Amino acid sequence: MAFRKRDTSNDQCRVWAEISRSALLNNVAVVRSQLIPEVQIAAVVKADAYGHKAELVAPILENEAGLAFFSVATLEEAIELRDIGIKGDILILSSVDPRYVPELKHYNLIVTLMDESYIEPYALMAAQSDGVLRLHLKLDTGMARLGLATTGDNLEQSVKAAMSIEAAPKLNLEGVFSHLASGAADPEYSAHQLALFKNFLSIFQERSGRKLIRHLAASNALTNPDFALDLVRAGIVLYGGQAPPPVLWQELRPVMSLFSRVYLLRDVPRGTSVSYSQTWHARRDTRLALIEAGYADGIMRILSNRGSWLINGVEAPIVGRVCMDCCLVDVTDLPQVQIGDRALFFGEYKGQVLSAAAQAEKAETIDYELFTGITARVPRILV
């Protein structure tokens, strides 16, 4: 028996995410407005474009917004971008097993060198085939996570490591970067990180005579010209998410809007317990609406009795435990609600916005986690 391919239009889906081309292009323009023309934007599209679907987002960024630099987290993500036709530079923001140097060269990818132990294996593997291996060097300036050290006695060792990359004939060191722990939220600590970054660069450039592409600012600092060097890594702001200082980002629009529908309506008397574990009891005669989205779709269970859905322009609170495939909301105060009405979990609909940041705060997390937590079974539809 032949089965019909699933219709992924929003008319057929129980839950779906609309990805707005116009919002994405708007956000690129807003980011550009904060930068001097000489500063290049690197679009961060790791984690499937923060859950927005890279195969939808990346071509728009390259072909319509004119961006020519992309950042991802893994080799697999980089190859996927090439497979969908992305031609710009692609930086993998971590080191890759040296066994995959041939793939890095074949797809013309830039890999991060974040530990001295990778230098020799990269050089050996790169020497076995034509062409050079493109590299950016990562420095640890205060995250204590990844990168070559920039403080104390370790600074000299890190500079020597960078010089050894220069000496390897098949390694091409193109750039150097670090990551700010707090960005604009902690200017003093960020200034300390910037000073360490510049000190390393000064010593390296004096010895090598070379100027590298420098990038330090991600979304949380790219409005500050001290941190926006040759390149800025724009991630969450491209998708309309929240980054400090929020006053500068008021023109951003949410790129993803997550929807479901009212599937059932049920009237229950006062005192009725709702959903698993009886965590919520009706304090009055209550009308409940069942929404066809649950934690298997990315509606986090911690939002039980905390989160909400926007229905007909009004926030209706989630009551009882969020289930795997559905949740319940109290629509007693929405007398006009009907089965089939669209429900917005976050995003924008008919001029009204329910921000992902607001939902994330109720879940004691950040919008990054909310976006990337929308699961693969939720279709993304470009609008």
CATH number, domain of 137, equals 3.20.20.10
Distance of CA 18 to the CA centre of its chain: 16
**pLDDT interval class at 9 (50, 70, 90):** low
| pLDDT(126) > 70 | yes
Domain contains 288: yes
Residues in the chain: 383
**pLDDT interval class at 256 (50, 70, 90):** very high
pLDDT digits (tens, 9 = 90+) for 92-119: 999 999 999 999 999 999 999 999 999 9
Rounded mean pLDDT, 6-19: 75
46 labelled catalytic = yes
Q: Which of 5, 46, 107, 295 is catalytic?
A: 46
Please identify, among 206, 241, 276, the residue that sits at the C-terminal boundary of a domain.
Answer: 241
Same domain, 93 and 218: yes
Domain contains 248: no
Can you read off the two tokens belonging to residue 199? 């000190």
DSSP letter string, 106-162: HTT-EEEE-SGGGHHHHHHHHTTSSS-EEEEEEEESSSSSSSEE-STTHHHHHHHHH
Same domain, 222 and 270: no
Answer yes or no: are the C-beta atoms of 258 and 378 closer than 8 Å: yes
Same domain, 37 and 120: yes
Answer yes or no: are the C-beta atoms of 319 and 330 closer than 8 Å: yes
For residue 296, the domain's CATH number is 2.40.37.10
Domain contains 44: yes
Least confidently predicted of 45-59, 79-93, 213-227, 290-304: 213-227
Higher pLDDT, 248 or 91: 91
Largest CA distance in the chain: 79
**pLDDT interval class at 206 (50, 70, 90):** very high
Domain contains 4: no
Same domain, 96 and 194: yes
Distance CA 244, CA 236 (A): 11
Non-local CB neighbours of 1 within 8 Å, separated by 6+ positions:
none
Rounded mean pLDDT, 275-292: 97
Domain contains 16: no
Same domain, 308 and 374: yes
| Bridge partners for 224 per DSSP | none
Answer yes or no: are the C-beta atoms of 226 and 39 closer than 8 Å: no
DSSP state of 52: T
| pLDDT(379) > 80 | yes
* Phi then psi dihedrals of residue 45, to 5 deg: -120, 25
Same domain, 269 and 229: no
| pLDDT(315) > 60 | yes
**pLDDT interval class at 185 (50, 70, 90):** confident
Same domain, 200 and 343: no
Interior/surface letters 262-295, b for 16+ CB within 10 angstroms, e for the rest: bbeeeebeeeeebbeeeebebeeebbbbbbbbbb
Domain contains 123: yes
Same domain, 78 and 182: yes
Domain contains 33: yes
Same domain, 236 and 101: yes
| pLDDT(6) > 70 | no
The per-residue pLDDT for 153 is 87
Same domain, 190 and 324: no
Same domain, 305 and 225: no
Domain contains 102: yes
Same domain, 283 and 234: no
CA atoms 238, 240, 242, 246: torsion sign: positive
Please identify, among 213, 241, 269, the residue that sits at the C-terminal boundary of a domain.
Answer: 241
pLDDT digits (tens, 9 = 90+) for 321-365: 999 999 999 999 998 999 999 999 999 999 999 999 999 999 999
| pLDDT(133) > 80 | yes
Residue ranges making up the domain that contains 161: 21-241
How many domains does the chain fold into?
Answer: 2
Q: Which of 118, 239, 276, 362 is catalytic?
A: 276
**pLDDT interval class at 310 (50, 70, 90):** very high
349 labelled catalytic = no
The per-residue pLDDT for 12 is 66
* Phi then psi dihedrals of residue 189, to 5 deg: -70, -35
